[in-house]
Chain A
Amino acid sequence: MRPQKALTFWCAVLGIIVILTACASFLSSYGPNDMNLDEVYVSPGEDHLLGTDHLGRDVFSRLLEGGKVTLTVASVSVLLSLVIGILYGGISGYVGGAVDTVMMRFLEALITIPSLIIILAFQAFMQGGMWSMALIIGITGWLVTARIVRSEFIRLKDAEFVKMATMFGTPIWKILFGHMLRNSVPAIFIVTLFNFAGAIFIEVSLSFLGIGVPPAIPSWGNMLYYAQNDILIGAWWIGLFPGVMIFVTILAINFIGEALKNPERRRLDA
């Protein structure tokens, strides 16, 4: 596929997933938590499009509802990490000097700690709902964003138009937001996109381990957590579909990110 076509295609895929999950309550004929013990482990068919799980809950409606939860957690956490990353990277890049050195050393140290470890430690006592999950993922996921913002700010600080603006006495907030931040948007957008995929991965992984979103709320990760046992008795549909959804969502995000990444630009992840 040509790059432009590929971009359109994957955007459409992602759009469909988002719309489907957002309209979860209209599209499914069963409630995501409606149990029916007469119909446990029904294979996919007419009545239940994607079958039912160990409590007779409809997999299709749980899949849509779960997507809503997973994508909401990921979006909120990414927004949070975006704000922290812009603030941290912006200050470090704009102020420069010793402040920059100290802030970057600190960031380098943080980046070597597996973020999953930090999240596990938090989860040990938070065990809250989906919002606390989003909070934790957000406050551990801003490191790369901060790095990108910093390098963009350092590059733009020396750009001619910024120097001109300073010369003309443009107020500093206008330079910061109107010139520097606005010109960093493409780079920030791409790193945020990959962050979004990462946030989905973490939410799904934690829920899969049974320490993420509480079991009462369906999420793609939670569904896979129960699927571990179901798969052993041959109920493959419970584990297959949430995984496919996660896979396709992350795939779409990665392909969109790749298509937007301009090869002429410096490597973003360096």
Chain B
Amino acid sequence: MTVKWIGKRMVMGMIVLLIVSFLSFFIMHAAPGDPAAAFYGGNAQTLNAAEKERISRVFSLDRPVIAQYGTWLAETVKGNFGVSYKEGRPVSTILFERLPNTLLLFGVTMFFIIVGSIWLGTAAGMKAGSVWDKGLSTVSIVTSSIPAFWLGILFISFFAVNLGILPSSGSGDIGDEGGFWDKLRYLIMPATVIILTHVGIYARFLQESIKVESRNYYVTVARANGIAERVIRKGILRNASIPYLNYIGMTIPSFFGGSIIVESLFSWAGLGQLTVKSVITKDFPLLMGGILLTGLIVVVSLFVIDLIMYVVNPRLRKGDVR
């Protein structure tokens, strides 16, 4: 059962990646203008027809699109993402320079969001009707309505410009004078912005599913039978965590979208900032690589969440659901 289930999830992930690759390839292909001209940039006018034809042949641009896609996909799977137009270095090298930063930001923010929302959500959900309960409902709507990058601008204006205690942008570098602590100073602002704008809405979701769960019949029965409150709470929390995990999985894609913007604002040298930069400079190989790698990260993190759900939820293991 387990093997079959994991297999099914993996096939789904592959399909998603295939769609992403289709999108990135065909979108780039649909880009207006002659790729040969794009490659030569400002000097394109000096090319004559024969030279253009030669370039098309060298880059296999005269072959059918589907054949080009096949060749491209085969190379991509082997880890060859091509060479960046602007930097002249292999895309895979550039991507792997950026990957640790993105994973660091993603890991740190996700950790604090999950810990914070479980703490807040449980505190609010277990005491229905309390100040906590009502307060969290309102606060979560307010915090989730703040555009993260705007909060970032305010933070920069306050902490970097007025107080001058935190760097306004950049991501430092491990191995520089400051080492780890240096990196941490750069991480504080982008991470705080993401955490503040996200923790409320996750906490609220957990709070609501705890409230729904507490109204269930088994809770009343357990209470009537004199089962310790601590045990009941544990049961409620465990059952409420399933929709919560599902919610995290559902929102991870948009969470990534948000971090792209925050990365760009703080010039955090991660994948998101790289992707935006490649859009602006029209560096297509780099853009395609960035999109594919982001897709891969999303698929992998969804897979991890699915695995956790599989462990937490016995119904899934028995094959009841889905």
A interface residues with partner B (beta carbon < 8 Å): 105, 108-118, 120-125, 197, 201, 204-205, 208-211, 224, 227-228, 231-232, 234, 236, 239-240, 243, 246-247, 250-251, 254-255, 258, 269-270
Whether A121 contacts B24 by the Cβ 8 Å rule is yes
- Interface residues on chain B, number (Cβ under 8 Å): 50
Query: Who on chain B is nearest to A251 by CB?
Result: B145
Q: Is B141 in contact with chain A by the CB < 8 A criterion? A: yes
B160 to chain A, nearest CB (A): 8
Residue of B168, B253, B256 contacting most chain A CB atoms (<10 Å): B253
Whether A112 contacts B299 by the Cβ 8 Å rule is yes
Contacts of B149 in A (CB 8 A): 205, 208, 224
Contacts of A112 in B (CB 8 A): 16, 253, 298-299, 302
Whether B294 contacts A114 by the Cβ 8 Å rule is yes
4 nearest A-B residue pairs (beta carbon): A116-B257, A125-B31, A243-B150, A251-B145
B205 to chain A, nearest CB (A): 9
A56 to B100, CA, bound (A): 42
Q: Which of A118, A121, A197 makes the CB contact (< 8 A) with B287?
A: A121
Contacts of A251 in B (CB 8 A): 141-142, 145
A247 to B141, CA, bound (A): 11
Q: Is B20 in contact with chain A by the CB < 8 A criterion? A: yes
Q: Is B291 in contact with chain A by the CB < 8 A criterion? A: yes
Q: Which of A108, A224, A239, A258 makes the CB contact (< 8 A) with B12?
A: A108
For this complex, 23 residue pairs linking A to B, each with C-beta atoms less than 8 Å apart, are A109-B12, A112-B16, A113-B16, A116-B254, A117-B20, A117-B275, A120-B287, A121-B27, A121-B291, A124-B28, A124-B31, A124-B287, A125-B282, A208-B265, A211-B279, A228-B265, A239-B153, A239-B157, A243-B153, A247-B150, A251-B145, A258-B141, A270-B243
Contacts of B243 in A (CB 8 A): 270
Q: Is B15 in contact with chain A by the CB < 8 A criterion? A: yes
Q: Is B6 in contact with chain A by the CB < 8 A criterion? A: no
Whether A124 contacts B279 by the Cβ 8 Å rule is yes
Contacts of A118 in B (CB 8 A): 23
Contacts of A109 in B (CB 8 A): 12, 15-16, 19
By secondary structure, the A interface counts as helix
Other than A228-B265, A232-B161, give 19 A-B pairs with Cβ distance below 8 A: A109-B12, A111-B250, A113-B253, A113-B298, A115-B253, A116-B261, A117-B260, A118-B23, A120-B260, A124-B27, A125-B32, A208-B149, A208-B265, A209-B261, A211-B280, A224-B149, A231-B161, A246-B150, A251-B145
B interface residues with partner A (beta carbon < 8 Å): 12, 15-16, 19-20, 23-24, 27-28, 30-32, 141-142, 144-147, 149-150, 153-154, 156-157, 161, 168, 243, 250, 253-254, 256-257, 260-261, 264-265, 275-276, 278-280, 282, 284, 287, 291, 294-295, 298-299, 302
Instruction: Evaluate whether A236 and B157 lie within 8 angstroms (CB atoms) in the complex, with A113-B295, A255-B141 already known.
Output: yes
Whether A204 contacts B295 by the Cβ 8 Å rule is no
A57 to B116, CA, bound (A): 43
Contacts of A204 in B (CB 8 A): 147
A111 to B246, CA, bound (A): 14
Contacts of B287 in A (CB 8 A): 120-121, 124
Query: Who on chain B is nearest to A112 by CB?
Result: B16
Whether B153 contacts A231 by the Cβ 8 Å rule is yes
Query: Who on chain A is nearest to B160 by CB?
Result: A232
Q: Which of A113, A234, A250 makes the CB contact (< 8 A) with B161?
A: A234
Contacts of B264 in A (CB 8 A): 209
Residue of A115, A121, A197, A258 contacting most chain B CB atoms (<10 Å): A121
Contacts of A197 in B (CB 8 A): 145
A250 to B294, CA, bound (A): 27
A220 to chain B, nearest CB (A): 9
B165 to chain A, nearest CB (A): 15
Whether A111 contacts B154 by the Cβ 8 Å rule is no
A269 to B244, CA, bound (A): 12
Q: Which of A108, A115, A239 makes the CB contact (< 8 A) with B254?
A: A115
A124 to B291, CA, bound (A): 12
B168 to chain A, nearest CB (A): 7
Query: Who on chain A is nearest to B14 by CB?
Result: A109
Contacts of B250 in A (CB 8 A): 111, 269
